[in-house]
Amino acid sequence: MKTKFAAGVAFQIADNLCFLLNPHCLKIAIAGSLRRQKSQVGDIEIVFIPKMRSVKIDLFYVAEVPSPDDLFKLWLDSGVIAKRKNKLGHESWGPKNKLAVHVGSGIPVDFFTATEENWFNYLVCRTGSAENNIEIAKAAQAKGWMWQPYGKGFIDKAGEWHQPGSEDEVFSLVGLPYLAPKDR
C-alpha cells in the first residue's frame, strides 16, 4: 500500500517549492490530489513552464536551456530533495519529468515540465484523477479522436489537432461537462 501524507504538510512543502520556482517559470501550478483537495496525498505534483535562458556554448552556438535546472541542482546538492526511482526502479530525471523526494518529510515530489501549447492538457491530466482521465480519453475515442495529454490536445481521424485554450475546453471538446479539480 502506498504511503499517504497529511495534505496540510504536503501543501506547505508544495507551496514553498512553487514560491522558489516561480521566478524561473512562465506558469506554475500544484496539481494532483493536492489540487483535488484530498485530505491525504501520496505525493506532490508540480506542473510548470520554465523560462528559457540563452547559454553561449562557443562562438557559433547559443543554446536555450530551462532556467529552473540550476535551482533543482542547488536543491539536490543541499539535500532539500533527492532523486527517486520510478515504479520500474529507474531514475527519471530528464527535461520533462523529474521524480524526487522531499528529504525532510519523505514526501515524493514530481516535477512536470509543460509548454504553452500543452499547458491545459498537462494540468488536467496531472491533476487527475485517473478515473477522470479515463473518462476524457473514452469521450475522445467515442468521437474518433485520441487524447494526447502531454501533446497539443486531441487529434481527430483526419489528423487535425484540437487544442484546448482552457481546462474547461479539455472537457468541452469531447462533450463532457467541466469538473472543478475538487470534483475530479
Q: Evaluate whether residue 155 is within a structural domain.
A: yes
Domain boundary residue, one of 59, 90, 113: 113
Query: What confidence score (pLDDT) does residue 161 get?
Result: 95
Q: Evaluate whether residue 182 is within a structural domain.
A: no
- H or E stretch including 98? strand 97-102
- Does 45 lie in the same domain as 20? yes
How confident is the prediction for the chain on average, in pLDDT?
93
Query: What confidence score (pLDDT) does residue 61 get?
Result: 63
Q: In whole angstroms, what is the distance from residue 136 CA to residue 122 CA?
A: 13
Q: Evaluate whether residue 162 is within a structural domain.
A: yes
- Does 41 lie in the same domain as 11? yes
Q: In whole angstroms, what is the distance from residue 67 CA to residue 74 CA?
A: 12
Query: What confidence score (pLDDT) does residue 127 get?
Result: 98
- Cα-only R_g, the chain: 18
Q: Low-confidence residues of the chain, pLDDT below 50?
A: none
Query: What confidence score (pLDDT) does residue 68 get?
Result: 87
Query: What confidence score (pLDDT) does residue 62 get?
Result: 62
Number of domains within the chain = 2
Q: Evaluate whether residue 180 is within a structural domain.
A: no
What's the CATH code of the domain at 73? 3.30.460.10
**Residue-wise pLDDT tens digits, 71-97:** 899 999 999 999 999 989 999 999 899
* Strand 44-50, strand 107-113: pairing: parallel
Q: In whole angstroms, what is the distance from residue 58 CA to residue 56 CA?
A: 6
Query: What confidence score (pLDDT) does residue 51 get?
Result: 86
What's the CATH code of the domain at 138? 3.30.210.10
Query: What confidence score (pLDDT) does residue 67 get?
Result: 76
Query: What confidence score (pLDDT) does residue 70 get?
Result: 84
Domain boundary residue, one of 113, 131, 159: 113
pTM: predicted TM-score of the whole model, two decimal places: 0.90
Q: Evaluate whether residue 80 is within a structural domain.
A: yes
Terminal-to-terminal C-alpha distance of the chain = 22
Query: What confidence score (pLDDT) does residue 64 get?
Result: 62
Which residues constitute the domain of residue 160? 119-175
